[in-house]
Amino acid sequence: MSTRSPLAPAAFPALPDIPGVRAAVARARYKAWDRCDLTFVTLDEGTAVAGVTTQSKCPSPEVEWCRAALTLGRARALVVNAGNSNAFTGRRGRAAVEAIAARVAGAIGCMPSDVFVASTGVIGVPLPIDKAEAGIDAALAAPEASWEDVANTIGTTDTFAKAATTRAMIGGVPVELVGIIKGSGMIAPDMATMLGFIFTDAAIEPGFLQTMLAHANRRSFSCITVDSDTSTSDTVLAFATGKAGNAPLTSEEDAGADAFQAALTDLCTQLAQLVVRDGEGATKFVTVTVEGAVSDASAHRVALSIANSPLVKTAIAGEDANWGRVVAAVGKAGEPAERDRLSIRVGTTQVAREGLAVEGYDEAPVTAHLKGSEITVGVDLGLGEGSATVWTCDLTHGYISINADYRS
């Protein structure tokens, strides 16, 4: 991994074991590197699964495989390949996914459709089947891996291992949730994102798990952007082993469903923010809040317009109180907005109100805020009740260096 992001947490979190989940890692050597790059997770019988995947029109064969398997709602294994996304590889890419599922099904005694596969890395190169098969065989013989090993193994340009945990009570029964995630560039999830995996020992009916994951996704992964570039391989899967012993959740009427939804949304938000904190070249974590829009959806689009603006992102990188660039980003969003109702806040300082700079505007506290690493930009459109929050990072020389200076 490269130099650890300055926005990374101090340490990898302490994570509980999730009964029914066992992970191993291996060296498939998809690239010329000496590190584990294949993750193999087995899941006990009865594990429910839900997932959200990229809305890209050019999805990887892994994404297509997972979509089909998700309709059955059951999972027994997960294989994650790092270093090659296998996207845009036609029949050969599809054959690689089928070979992996068949190998795993034969080894652990399940249906191929019980095996979920995700891959991340360069686009356009078929995943080498021989390396994948050898890696799976090695993982089958390997000792159990820690969550930190797993979180490191699924990463590519990530500079730190990312994971989070939450818990909830369902009908008096405590359940645990653990999530791991990778991603730092090509991040602009369109209803789904990156590679993220969530494990819980709660018992949840697959259809309802899907409903809850979709809800959490809208509030978390769909609210982050690093560079506006949606990936071909974005996938988040949630696995529920049912080992906690709670009465299975089947609908939002069930006792504990609210608590689990809140814990799941919290977990997804933590994971999503970790991806932004590892945004390529990032030196500032930026929270953009839009209020007063005609709808939440409109607020979300305005917030993304600000968060994706290269000029806003470079101004923040340069600690430049150039809030006019926020005005321009609101103006170009294509959403209802009226210049003379627009107010802007940076940190806790109101910089503009109702279409112009506030009387006696003092730049000093704004500049001081921008020197920190946790930046907030607030916009009030003054039109309605719609609101949204989006998280992003600044745009720096580091991003250019990572993506232009070296051949990928």
> Which residues 295-334 are close enough to bind a copy of itself by CB under 8 A?
308-311, 314-315, 317-318, 320, 322-325, 327-334
The residues near 179 (Cβ < 8 Å, ≥ 6 apart) are: 163, 164, 165, 196, 197, 198, 199, 267, 268, 270, 271
Element (H, E) at 262: helix 257-277
Per rule CB under 8 A, is residue 360 in the interface with a copy of itself? no
Per rule CB under 8 A, is residue 406 in the interface with a copy of itself? yes
Per rule CB under 8 A, is residue 57 in the interface with a copy of itself? yes
Q: Which of 89, 156, 193, 392 is catalytic?
A: 193
Rounded CA gap, 393 and 287, in Å?
8
166 is catalytic: no
How many of the other CB atoms lie within 10 Å of CB of 396? 20
Half-sphere exposure of 407 (CA within 13 A, CB side): 0
Question: How many residues line the site for a copy of itself (CB under 8 A)?
Answer: 75
- Give the residue with the Cβ less far from a copy of itself, 163 or 342: 342
Per rule CB under 8 A, is residue 141 in the interface with a copy of itself? no
Per rule CB under 8 A, is residue 31 in the interface with a copy of itself? no
Binding track over 226-265 against a copy of itself, x by CB under 8 A: -xxxxxx---------------------------------
- Give the residue with the Cβ less far from a copy of itself, 58 or 255: 58
Nearest approach, Cβ of 260 to a copy of itself (angstroms)?
Answer: 32
Contact stretch for a copy of itself (CB under 8 A) within 7-15, 21-29, 120-128, 285-293: 120-128
Per rule CB under 8 A, is residue 211 in the interface with a copy of itself? no
Per rule CB under 8 A, is residue 342 in the interface with a copy of itself? yes
Per rule CB under 8 A, is residue 148 in the interface with a copy of itself? no
- Give the residue with the Cβ less far from a copy of itself, 207 or 355: 355
Per rule CB under 8 A, is residue 395 in the interface with a copy of itself? yes
Q: Looking only at residues 153 through 192 of this chain, which bind a copy of itself when binding is defined by CB under 8 A?
A: 185-186, 188, 190
Rounded CA gap, 59 and 101, in Å?
18
- Give the residue with the Cβ less far from a copy of itself, 56 or 250: 56
Contact stretch for a copy of itself (CB under 8 A) within 202-210, 211-219, 223-231, 254-262: 223-231
> 380, 291 in Cβ contact below 8 A?
yes
Question: Tokens 């005694």 identify what position?
Answer: 109
The residues near 196 (Cβ < 8 Å, ≥ 6 apart) are: 179, 180, 181, 182, 183, 221, 235, 236, 237, 268, 271
Q: Among residues 56, 373, 376, 389, which is the contact residue for a copy of itself, using CB under 8 A?
A: 56
Closest CA to 123 of 63, 52, 53: 63
Rounded CA gap, 133 and 396, in Å?
40
Rounded CA gap, 136 and 40, in Å?
7
- Give the residue with the Cβ less far from a copy of itself, 68 or 72: 68
The residues near 32 (Cβ < 8 Å, ≥ 6 apart) are: none
User: 3-class DSSP state for residue 19?
Assistant: coil
Active site residues: 193
